[in-house]
Amino acid sequence: MTDKLALHERLELHEMLTFRNLCLTKSSTMHGLVGCEDLKAILSTDVTEGKQHVEQLTNLLKNRDVVS
């Protein structure tokens, strides 16, 4: 894999990171408000996986240069 991203790839990664952060915030907030244990388990899994995805996307953005 190359260590460089085209500008449009960087922008798309940033857009995905923003969306995933929003989803993570919503799942985390709703987890405390939900009474159903099954739904709490789903939200908890989503929060755990969401944190991993945010970390991976952040690392991709940090570790790649932009090709002009």
Q: With 60 as the cut, is the pLDDT of residue 13 above it?
A: yes
Average pLDDT for 10-17? 93
Residue spans of beta strands (DSSP E) within 1-68: 4-6, 65-67
* pLDDT tens column, 17-48: 999 999 999 999 999 999 999 999 999 999 99
Q: Domains in the chain: how many in total?
A: 1
Please count the CA atoms within 13 angstroms of the CA of 34 that sit on its side-chain side: 15
Look over the chain and give the mean of its residue pLDDT values, rounded to a whole number: 90
pTM score of the predicted model: 0.81
44 Cβ neighbours under 8 A, 6+ residues apart = 31
Domain enclosing residue 18, as ranges: 4-67
